[in-house]
């Protein structure tokens, strides 16, 4: 018993001695700060918040609504309408050296009259508030802009007009070419979908390259709703931009500008493409096309042309099946010229937009079978912008007029955006005189 006790005491002394020696060794060495075990946050990290508002006052003329009982279009009263065309609350930051985030909330279209000639839906009398964008960005290439990974809810990087903010274009409204392409890509006017994108920027002295390639899962190709359907195929979309002369970008981002306020002399030439395989709605969907932006001192010129094809099969009257490829196209050209007025800037602007779809009964039946638009539409915009603080604060006065052709579908058909208004039905969209205030704080 005494031997056991002695042995336990000796063991305890040995353990204590070893522990003390280890402790003394730790005390003589430089301690390792706990924070070095983890990814270090930016010491100057700040939670950034901005408000962006487009306050529009419109006077609509010549709007018409289709009366299904009489089979004719009936004019509605010309009207004055003030609304928040776009209204956003943006939260962003960079908590880690190579990780950024952005969350955009919206309360767009508050106060819009459905029978005004502008585009879009409405926000209720007690306006809704929701998510517009929400994504993270991680810099894959440390120390350079050559590779960034973006993930979340955002616009597929295709077609400059679609991925440029409404605060950055110089026409009164963005070209409707973006709406046709967005609905072709993801099925909705806002043009967002969940996905992953890799992109980057290479910039030499007078030549640069910007690239993006993403994979997305839009949930609008099945009658079930919120699913691509029993047939699954991801949307793949991307673009490459060649910069000549002064660069358009010096740091990678997924939003773009149109006016550089006389600071840039350069041209951007881009090519865009997308592909989606078989879903419940179509067998294959493809889009592609070129675009350009020229800034030469006070001159700002941009344009693009996109071709959209969907393949499908539909039943015909003799009981057989018709396999087809349905193609439409859309684009715009827009020009502005900066005139310095004291410490401010005045910019006269003109834009023309065109959409071309199928005109015959057979082509329009094909379009309907795969959820595409048909007929044709034109938009013209002429006006002047008064920049008080670049795009952060500007006033706009423009006149916009539109026209369309329903093709063989005839009166009452809602074959494209000129002839259709959610909440109303078949229309002929009128013209409008618009005064706008765009502000970013």
Q: Are 174 and 166 in contact (CB under 8 A)?
A: yes
Q: Quick check: 126 pLDDT over 50?
A: yes
- The pLDDT of residue 14 is 44
Q: What angle do CA 49, 50, 56 make, to 5 degrees?
A: 155
Question: Once rounded to an integer, what is the mean pLDDT over residues 38-63?
Answer: 95
pLDDT band at 30 (very low <50, low <70, confident <90, very high): low
Share of the chain above pLDDT 90, in %: 86
The residue length of the chain stands at 441
Instruction: Flag whether pLDDT at 45 surpasses 60.
Output: yes
91: CB partners within 8 A, 6+ apart: 47, 48, 49, 102, 103, 104, 105
Which pLDDT band, with edges at 50, 70 and 90, does 432 fall under?
A: very high
Reply yes or no on whether the pLDDT at 20 is more than 70: no
Separation of CA 103 from chain center: 14
- Please name which of 427, 431, 407 lies closest in space to residue 417, comparing C-alpha atoms: 427
Q: What's the rounded mean pLDDT across residues 187-209?
A: 96
* Residue matched to tokens 């047939």: 231
Judged against a pLDDT cut of 80, whether residue 3 lies above it is answered with no
CA gap 174, 192 in Å, rounded: 16
CB 335 within 8 A of CB 350: yes
Band the pLDDT of 399: cuts 50, 70, 90.
very high
**Per-residue confidence band for 225, with pLDDT thresholds at 50, 70 and 90:** confident
- Residue 112 has a pLDDT of 96
13 has pLDDT over 50 = no
Return contacts of 65-71, CB within 8 angstroms, 24+ apart: 65/115, 65/424, 65/425, 65/426, 65/427, 66/411, 66/412, 66/425, 66/426, 66/427, 66/428, 68/412, 68/425, 68/426, 71/411, 71/412
- How far is Cα 12 from Cα 305, in angstroms, rounded to an integer? 84
Q: Is the pLDDT of residue 63 over 60?
A: yes
Average pLDDT over residues 133-145: 96
pLDDT digits (tens, 9 = 90+) for 328-381: 999 999 999 999 999 999 999 999 999 999 999 999 999 999 999 999 999 999
Paired residues of 304 in beta bridges: 291, 332
Task: Give me the pLDDT at residue 15, please.
Answer: 41
User: Residue by residue, what is the 3-state secondary structure of 17-30?
Assistant: HHHHHHHHHHHHCC
Q: What is the pLDDT of residues 310-337, one digit of tens each?
A: 999 999 888 889 999 999 999 999 999 9
Using the predicted structure, report yes or no on whether residue 2 has a pLDDT greater than 50: no
Region 398-406: what's the mean pLDDT? 98
Burial of 148 (0-12, 13-18, 19+ CB in 10 A): buried
- Mean pLDDT over 394-422 rounds to 97
* Beta strand spans in 122-206 (E): 130-139, 148-154, 193-203
Which of the pair, 9 or 192, is modelled with greater confidence?
A: 192
pLDDT at residue 160 greater than cutoff 60: yes
The residues with which 341 forms a beta bridge, in sequence order, are 344
Mean pLDDT of the chain: 92
What pLDDT is recorded for position 317? 85
* Contact of 275 with 293, CB cutoff 8 Å: no
- pLDDT bucket at 194, cuts 50 / 70 / 90: very high
Confidence (pLDDT) at 223: 85
Arithmetic mean of pLDDT, 10-26: 43
Task: Report the predicted TM-score, pTM, of the whole model to 2 decimal places.
Answer: 0.90
Dist CA 408 CA 303 (whole Å): 30
pLDDT higher than threshold 50 for residue 10: no
């Amino acid at each position: 018993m005494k031997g056991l006790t002695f042995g336990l005491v000796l063991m305890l002394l040995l353990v204590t001695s070893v522990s003390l020696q280890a402790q003394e060794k730790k005390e003589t060495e430089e301690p390792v700060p706990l924070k070095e075990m983890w990814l270090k946050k930016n010491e100057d990290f700040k939670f950034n918040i901005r408000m962006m508002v487009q306050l529009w006052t419109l006077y609509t003329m010549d709007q018409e609504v289709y009366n299904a009982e009489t089979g004719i279009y009936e004019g509605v009263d010309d009207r004055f309408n003030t609304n928040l065309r776009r209204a956003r609350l943006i939260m962003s930051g960079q908590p880690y050296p190579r990780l950024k985030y952005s969350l955009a909330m919206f309360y767009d279209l508050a106060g819009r009259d459905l029978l005004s000639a502008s585009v879009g839906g409405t926000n209720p009398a007690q306006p809704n508030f929701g998510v517009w964008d929400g994504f993270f960005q991680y810099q894959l290439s440390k120390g350079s802009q050559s590779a960034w990974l973006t993930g979340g809810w955002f616009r597929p990087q295709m077609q400059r007009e679609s991925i440029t903010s409404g605060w950055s274009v110089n026409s009164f409204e963005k070209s409707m070419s973006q709406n046709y392409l967005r609905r072709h890509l993801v099925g909705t006017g806002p043009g967002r979908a969940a996905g992953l994108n890799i992109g980057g920027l290479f910039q030499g002295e007078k030549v640069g390259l910007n690239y993006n390639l993403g994979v997305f899962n839009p949930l609008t190709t099945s009658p079930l709703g919120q699913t691509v359907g029993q047939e699954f195929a991801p949307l793949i979309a991307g673009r490459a931009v060649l910069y000549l002369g002064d660069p358009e970008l010096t740091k990678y981002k997924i939003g773009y500008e149109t006016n550089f306020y006389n600071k840039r002399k350069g041209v951007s030439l881009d090519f865009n493409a997308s592909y989606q395989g078989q879903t419940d709605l179509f067998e294959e969907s493809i889009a592609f096309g070129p675009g350009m932006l020229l800034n030469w001192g006070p001159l700002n010129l941009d344009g693009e042309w996109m071709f959209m094809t969907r393949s499908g099969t539909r039943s015909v009257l003799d009981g057989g099946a018709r396999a087809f490829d349905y193609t439409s196209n859309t684009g715009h050209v827009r020009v502005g010229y900066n005139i310095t007025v004291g410490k401010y800037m005045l910019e006269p602007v003109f834009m023309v937009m065109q959409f071309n779809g199928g005109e015959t009964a057979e082509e329009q039946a094909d379009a309907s079978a795969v959820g595409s638009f048909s007929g044709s539409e034109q938009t013209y915009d002429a006006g002047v912008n008064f920049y008080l603080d670049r795009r952060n604060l500007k006033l706009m006065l423009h006149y916009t007029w539109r026209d369309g052709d329903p093709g063989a579908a005839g009166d009452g058909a809602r074959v494209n955006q000129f002839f259709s208004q959610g909440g109303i039905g078949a229309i002929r969209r009128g013209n409008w005189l618009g005064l706008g205030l765009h502000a970013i704080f």
